[in-house]
Structures are given as structure tokens and as C-alpha cells.
Amino acid sequence: MKTATLNKSDIGKCIDLLVQSDLRVIAPRLQPRLDDEGTDSIDVLTFTEVDSGNDHQVGEGLLPLNGVKEFLFAKHEPLFAYEKRGKKVEIIPVHHEYPQTVIIGVRPCDAASIASLESVFSDANAGFEDPFFTERRSRTTFITYSCTAPDASCFCTSVDLAPDSSKGSDLHLTELGDGRLHVEVITEAGEAVAKKLEALLEGEGDQAAREKAGASVHEKLTRLRNSAPIMDWLMDTANFDDEMWQRLGEKCIGCGSCTFVCPTCHCFDIVDENKGSKGYRVKFWDSCQFDHFTLHASGHNPRDWQYKRYRNRFNCKFKIYPEKFETQGCVGCGRCIRACPVNLDITEYMAEVAHKAANPNAMKADSDFE
């Protein structure tokens, strides 16, 4: 593997070089947003397109509010247009721009989620390829940045990841603590980007210092859960009717926030946005937490209670993704914990399942509710 070093203060210059190479560059950036009252503006860290290296927060602050999902799987996009003329209908393709893109400053948790989405949208899933996803994926390069600032909601080390993991990365950066970054070329796409940054890269990296720097962040991750037994426990269908689901899930209000901030949630809806005789068929993010999501035309609803909808979400992360799509379902970014208005915590479920798996004969796990 090729390595090099880069001065952290040169990241702005890196962005400039990439922009000058006609690449679309996306980076974490503080963006003003209206506060809850809609009166004052607060700055929120989000991944957003930047047009120069003057204004970015790569490697600074906490995890951006959004993941990188929206740059591969659009929040809302037309699939085609149609026009009705009498008894005939014409389908008109919609032109989508898929610019060559570099996303810089991607956290290892977010980078790991890309393979998860790919397993759903690529033709590896039943032979059907979603071209809107794969066209973007093939034109996007990920420059990841080892996490330096996990917060109290982060739990990547509980799901077999690490704050300095390079999974899903093309070019990986790790702070060495002396103002320099260790640069690792992971893929060919990463190599191509590294070539554009050649003028700023120096010599070889410092592998030992990189390992040490990465390990020091591990210690900051205090929310440790054992995810190893979770899938096995979920595979036993008898546990699908365990009392835990209703007890823990009762407070869920079904707002869907967890699913919209989740980097691996892939559910969407398809509807026609029609005006007169013309319109677009559009695909947009949906959530398995909504009551009508699985509602049959007959009125029957397989997930007729909110706890059943949250049970599906948990199963999707720890059973369905690994079993069906053979990939990781939860990357431990903690966004669902931060976003939840009623403090529903996925790691509480993880701990409870691990406890139940370790104590199969116990009627109930220890809980405050007993």
C-alpha cells in the first residue's frame, strides 16, 4: 500500500486542486440553519458541496449531521417523465447529471455504510441494478478521515468497526498529532485522486505513528456493546415474539427520524407527481417507521403497532442486512440516538439482546421496568 504524509493545513489546498480538476467536491462545512423557533440561525456541520478550500471543516468537530448517503441515493429524484395524450402515453427519460465527485473528510462509520447500500442497489441483489445509485457510486471517490472526536452516542467499536478504519475508503487520512496527516492509498480511485494532490504529498507515511494515533481514539469510545451474539439470537424466530420488543419499543413515536439520518437505511417510496396531463414518477426516501408503510389495500397491516416497526428496524440492521445482503447493517455512527426525540437508544436493544443471548433461561432481562 502506498503511503505519504500531508500537512493538515494543506487540506484547503487539496480541495482547491480537486475543484480545479473539474471535480465536484463535497466536504463537512458549518452551515447556518434556523433554530427550532425559526428566529435565530445556528451553525450545523453538514456534508455539502464546496467550491474552494477556503471554507471547510474537514477533520474538525463532531460527526456531520447528514451522512454521505444522500450523495449516492438521492432524497428525491425523478425516475422518468410522462405525458398523456388521449389514449396514448409517452415516457420521456429524465437527464441526470452524475458529475465526478470527491467526498473528503468522510468518517470511517459513514464510509463503511457505502458497501451496505451497494449490496441493496447493485445487481448483486437479485440481478436488478438501480442505475441512479450505481452511476453515482462509480463516479464518487471517498477520502476518509480517521475519527478524532467520537461523542457519547458513537459506538462503532461495538459493530466491528474502528474510529480509524479504512473500510469503504479510497484514500484514508489519519492525524499523526504533529500537524501532519498519514495518507493511505486504498483503491485505484484513491490513487487517481492522490495523483492530483501529488504536489502536496510528501515522502512516505509513518505507519507506527498512525496506528498509535488511531488507537488513542479507541479509548474515547465508551459506549461498548457486544454485538457478536445479536444475529444468532435474532435468527431464532421464537425471539421475534420476545417481550423485550414491546417493552423497549413502547416509547417510539414513529417519527422516522432515526431512518432518515441513518447511513444504511435504504427504504423508498415511488409516486407520481402529476400536473394536468404531465408529470414525473419520483423515488424518494421513505421510512419503515411509518404506519402506512406496510399497510395492505385490504386494511390488514403486518406491522400494526409501533414497536413492531421498530423491531423491524433493529432486525434489518442486525439480521436482514447480514443474512440477506451479506453485509453490515449498522455502522455505529450513533445518529439515530442523537436524532431520537424520545431517547430511544439502539444500543439499549443491543445490550438487552446480548444479555438474553447469554442468559437463555432467564424469563426476563434485568430492567428498570420490573
Q: Point out which span in 7-15, 61-69, 261-269, 337-345 binds another protein (CB under 8 A).
A: 261-269
Q: CA angle, 335 as apex, 269 and 344 as ends, to 5°?
A: 90
**Is 351 strand, coil or helix?**
helix
Min CB(113)–another protein separation in Å: 15
Between 131 and 150, how does the x/- string for binding to another protein read (CB under 8 A)? x--xx---------------
Tell me how far apart the alpha carbons of residues 117 and 327 are, in angstroms, rounded to a whole number: 9
88 contact partners, CB below 8 Å, separation of at least 6: none
Min CB(248)–another protein separation in Å: 17
Nearer to another protein, 54 or 237 (CB): 237
Min CB(298)–another protein separation in Å: 6
Burial class (CB in 10 A: 0-12, 13-18, 19+), 220: middle
267 contacts another protein (rule: CB under 8 A): yes
Nearer to another protein, 204 or 291 (CB): 291
How many residues make contact with another protein (CB under 8 A)? 53
Nearer to another protein, 21 or 125 (CB): 125
Strand 3-7: give its sheet, edge to edge: 3-7, 180-185, 171-175, 140-145, 101-106, 24-34, 41-50
288 contacts another protein (rule: CB under 8 A): yes
7 contacts another protein (rule: CB under 8 A): no
50 contact partners, CB below 8 Å, separation of at least 6: 15, 19, 25, 26, 27, 29, 56
Min CB(355)–another protein separation in Å: 21
CA 317 remoteness from chain centre: 12
Min CB(294)–another protein separation in Å: 5
319 contacts another protein (rule: CB under 8 A): yes
Judged by CB under 8 A, the residue of 298, 360, 361, 363 near another protein is 298
Nearer to another protein, 101 or 157 (CB): 101
Q: Point out which span in 22-30, 215-223, 250-258, 311-319 binds another protein (CB under 8 A).
A: 311-319
Q: Restricting to residues 59-118, which ones interact with another protein according to CB under 8 A?
A: 79-80, 82, 84, 87-89, 91, 93
Judged by CB under 8 A, the residue of 37, 296, 343, 363 near another protein is 296
271 contacts another protein (rule: CB under 8 A): yes
Q: Point out which span in 6-14, 39-47, 204-212, 260-268 binds another protein (CB under 8 A).
A: 260-268
Instruction: Please name which of 146, 150, 148 lies closest in space to residue 165, comparing C-alpha atoms.
Output: 146
Number of other CB atoms surrounding residue 111 within 10 Å? 27
CA torsion, points 195, 54, 261, 137, in degrees to nearest 10?
Answer: -30
Instruction: Please name which of 228, 117, 217 lies closest in space to residue 162, comparing C-alpha atoms.
Output: 217
Cell of 47: 456534508
Nearer to another protein, 2 or 305 (CB): 305
Tell me how far apart the alpha carbons of residues 369 and 210 are, in angstroms, rounded to a whole number: 45
Alpha-carbon distance values, 63 to 27, 55, 136, 313, 338 (Å): 12, 17, 23, 22, 11
126 contacts another protein (rule: CB under 8 A): yes
Residues that bind another protein (CB under 8 A): 79-80, 82, 84, 87-89, 91, 93, 120-121, 125-126, 128-131, 134-135, 237, 240-241, 266-272, 274, 277, 279, 281, 283, 286, 288, 293-298, 300, 302-303, 308, 312, 315-316, 319-320, 323-324
